[in-house]
Amino acid sequence: MEGDCHYLLGNINARRRVEFVRNLLLEIGLEASRVQMFNLSSAMGGQFAEYAAKLTEEIRQLGPNPLRKDPLYTTETSTGE
Amino acid sequence: MIIAEQKPLDEIMGLLGSDERVLVVGCGTCVTVCFAGGAREAAIVAASVRMTSKLNSVPREVTDVTVQRQCEWEYLDEIKEQISDADIILSLGCGIGVQAIAERFPDKWVVPGLNTTFLGMPTEQGVWIERCAACGDCVLGITGGICPIARCSKSLLNGPCGGSEDGHCEINPDIDCAWQLIYDRLSRLGRLDALLELQPPKNWSTSRDGGPRKITRDDLRLAAEEE
Ligand code: SF4
Ligand code: SF4
């Protein structure tokens, strides 16, 4: 959990860097929510699944990365629909 | 070292206008160690410009290269081919690097990607503070190694002013009062008597007030052929 990392304060430093990337995406003109960070311990499988589902849903709403022209990366293919 | 920070991407995009082939030039010295314009930042800026241009359907070809020192001709000459292939140069050097490129490549348009901010040092990782204003006539020898020109908001030579409060400067409580620092240090070293001597007005002609400055060292210059 935050501040309670195997690498001591590592996950707090990581969060600052993730914030940097999110701001960079905004500056570029992409949605910051394409990159998100969640704190979990290895014993929180249920929570992990919940976050993964939430993030997947949010990204699906945003649609494919507009910079990605490759048809392999459209939502349809990636979700197996 | 010279401390700089990156301009906002919006401003950089404005400076690039509609020029298609962009060369981002990083510098491997001061701006590398202050994380503003080294190889890593040049790659990030190049990628950001590429992505923004693509999102806005602006045709663009962006490459990046980093030289050891942008403020010396010999390092710039190493990338002259890349420079000649570009329509515009986005320099991530300090203001000196930008001008060195402009001077060395008279036919090339060059724009700054950084704001060159001050001469200073990191006091902790991620924090840089101004230390010297390059006044050209150093007074550190009478102020115990703490610069009143760069670090006192009023550049007082006989401080502190009446606004010094509990060690903080009146213009901003986040700023240490330089004169308090000077006093504390002289006191610790038993040299407070140095403060009894009034400092006369400083000769600012060695600073910016004397116009652009120049140092010539004949002992280092190479003799010209005809001499
Ligand atoms: S006195 Fe002048 S040269 Fe010395 S540190 Fe201050 S600004 Fe720099
Ligand atoms: S409070 Fe201290 S640092 Fe600020 S202007 Fe006065 S003497 Fe200078």
Cβ separation B55–A66 shorter than 8 A: yes
Q: What is this structure's pTM?
A: 0.90
Per the rule left: phi > 0, alpha: psi between -120 and 50, beta: everything else, B157 is alpha
Q: Is A39 exposed, middle or buried (0-12, 13-18, 19+ CB in 10 A)?
A: middle
Cis peptide bond prior to B122, omega within 30° of 0: no
Residue B44, both tokens: 């990030």
Interface of B with A (CB under 8 A): 8-10, 44, 48, 51-52, 54-56
pLDDT (0 to 100) of residue A81: 35
Please give the Cα distance from B116 to B196 (Å, whole number): 37
Q: Is B163 in the pocket of ligand 2 (CB under 6 A)?
A: yes
Residue in chain B nearest A65 by alpha carbon: B55
Q: Is B145 in the pocket of ligand 2 (CB under 6 A)?
A: no
Q: List chain A domain ranges.
A: 1-43
Question: Percent of chain B having pLDDT more than 70?
Answer: 99
Global ipTM: 0.82
- DSSP output for B59-104: --EEEEEEES-TTSHHHHHTTHHHHHH-SEEEE-S-HHHHHHHHHH
Cβ separation B8–A27 shorter than 8 A: yes
- Helical residues (DSSP H) of chain B, grouped into ranges: 9-16, 30-33, 39-55, 73-77, 80-85, 95-104, 148-151, 178-188
CA of B96 to the centre of ligand 2 (A): 30
Residue B227: pLDDT band with limits 50, 70, 90: low
Residue in chain A nearest B8 by alpha carbon: A27
- The 10s digit of each residue's pLDDT in B122-158 is 999 999 999 999 999 999 999 999 999 999 999 999 9
CA of B144 to the centre of ligand 1 (A): 12
Please give the Cα distance from B86 to B98 (Å, whole number): 15
CA of A39 to the centre of ligand 1 (A): 47
Instruction: Please name every residue paired with B116 in a beta bridge, in sequence order, or none if there are none.
Output: B4
Interface of A with B (CB under 8 A): 24, 27-30, 66-67
Nearest to A27 among B48, B54, B56 (CB): B48
Cβ separation B55–A24 shorter than 8 A: no
Q: List chain B domain ranges.
A: 2-118, 133-199
Helix (H, G, I), strand (E, B) or coil at B227: coil
Query: What's the mean pLDDT in A2-12?
Result: 85
Cβ separation A29–B55 shorter than 8 A: yes
Residue A70: pLDDT band with limits 50, 70, 90: low
Is it the case that residue B226 has pLDDT exceeding 90?
no
Nearest CA to B184 out of B211, B217, B215, B145 is that of B145
- The 10s digit of each residue's pLDDT in B156-206 is 999 999 999 999 999 999 999 999 999 999 999 999 999 999 999 999 999
Helix (H, G, I), strand (E, B) or coil at B158: coil
Q: Is B26 exposed, middle or buried (0-12, 13-18, 19+ CB in 10 A)?
A: buried
Task: Please report which ligand is nearest the Cα atom of B161.
Answer: 2
Please give the Cα distance from A17 to A10 (Å, whole number): 11
Helix or strand (DSSP H, E) at B119: strand B114-124
CATH classification code of B2-118: 3.40.50.2300
CA of B178 to the centre of ligand 2 (A): 6
